[in-house]
Amino acid sequence: MSAKSQLHEMLQRGETVVAPGAYDPLTGRIVQRMGFKACYVGGWMTGAHLATTEPLTTLTEQVEVGRKVARAVDIPVIVDADAGFGEPLQVVRAVHEYEEAGIAAIHIEDQVYPKRASYHRGLEHVVPREEFLAKIRYALKARRDRDFLIIARSDAGHAAGGSWQEAVARLQAAAELGADAIMPLTRTSEQMEQLRSLMPNPPAPMLTTAYFNGPSVKEMEALGFRIIIYPIATIAAAVSAIMDLYAGVRDAGECRFDPQKAQSVRSEIEAAIGLPEYYKLEDETTERRG
């Protein structure tokens, strides 16, 4: 079964899909080896990985990161498609590019485009409802594979002049158009509960983002969410570990990393990249003796 079909079927069965973040093929492999059934390539994470920012990343860059992760794993990859990278015309191309890259699902949001860096400091702006719905409508028309899922995301609950009521109205309208899932951008358990009170019977499976020290998976499930993504945690944990390690080198001239743990981590990396299989192949060919 293809990765696209896996995600579609999990949602049809009513399963909860937990998708940790992956910003490169190795992190995607690690997510898969840990037993998760999907992974997520977020725009913020891609921007950070490229040492720029999400509003400055291009469709080509985001598709390529998604393609590399999808090629490295057998589980579905969900990708942040930002605001569709333009108007409906550009959305159509984006859908085709993500489909061809082997991505299982994308979410398209109602933020203004070009995106603004100030979004990351809480200055959020969304386009009029009909402009957003036009993007969803043409994204649905553009897809060639029914197992490729289109997720409608609304940031209207946080935007200037917006409201949770407006976010709900947008997402309900997107679901009526045929969106496979909906994503109200919630950041706290209080916001999730407020959203749930406004939409007690979601018209499509709901996706939410998980944050540090936020609600547990079970708590988010109880609030009706069926796709739970971790958009920042992976790269934040990696950067934190790197800074801790090299602070010791900078301050004391010592690389403080337990040798046994280091060897264990190296072994896990080598297993994740398939090195034992490469050894086996060489044992049967170039390293064969006798």
* Per-residue pLDDT at 1: 82
Cβ(104)–Cβ(38) under 8 Å?
A: yes
Bridge partners, residue 152, by sequence: 108, 182
Task: Give the tens place of pLDDT for each residue, 15-29.
Answer: 999 999 999 999 999
Q: Is the pLDDT of residue 290 over 70?
A: no
Average pLDDT over residues 126-151: 98
Q: Write the single-letter amino acid at 135.
A: K
Average pLDDT over residues 58-76: 99
| pLDDT band, residue 212 (cuts 50/70/90) | confident
Check: pTM over 0.95? Answer yes or no.
Answer: yes
Alpha carbons 38 and 19: distance in angstroms, whole number: 5
Rg (CA), the chain: 20
Alpha carbons 104 and 6: distance in angstroms, whole number: 9
How many CA atoms, within 13 angstroms, populate the side-chain half-sphere of residue 67?
A: 12
| Average pLDDT value over all residues in the chain | 96
| pLDDT band, residue 251 (cuts 50/70/90) | very high
* Per-residue pLDDT at 211: 87
Nearest residue to 152 via CA among 191, 109, 115:
109
The residue with greater pLDDT, 168 or 289, is 168
Average pLDDT over residues 213-224: 94
Q: Is the pLDDT of residue 248 over 70?
A: yes
Task: Give the tens place of pLDDT for each residue, 75-134.
Answer: 999 999 999 999 999 999 999 999 999 999 999 999 999 999 998 998 999 999 999 999
* Residue with token string 């699902």: 105
Give the pairing of strands 39-41 and 17-20. unpaired
Read off the tokens for 191: 């916001």
Average pLDDT over residues 34-55: 98
Domains delineated in the chain: 3-232 (3.20.20.60), 239-284 (no CATH)
Give the pairing of strands 17-20 and 206-209. unpaired
* Per-residue pLDDT at 216: 95
How far from each other are the two terminal CA atoms of the chain, in whole angstroms?
41
Q: Is the pLDDT of residue 266 over 70?
A: yes
Average pLDDT over residues 127-150: 98
Average pLDDT over residues 138-162: 97
Cα 185 off chain centre by: 13
Cβ(194)–Cβ(164) under 8 Å?
A: yes
Q: Write the single-letter amino acid at 162.
A: G
CA distances for 249 relative to 16, 244, 246, 263, angstroms = 43, 9, 5, 19
How many CA atoms, within 13 angstroms, populate the side-chain half-sphere of residue 42?
A: 21
Q: What is the DSSP letter of 121?
A: G
CB-based contacts of 263: which residues, under 8 Å, 6+ apart? none
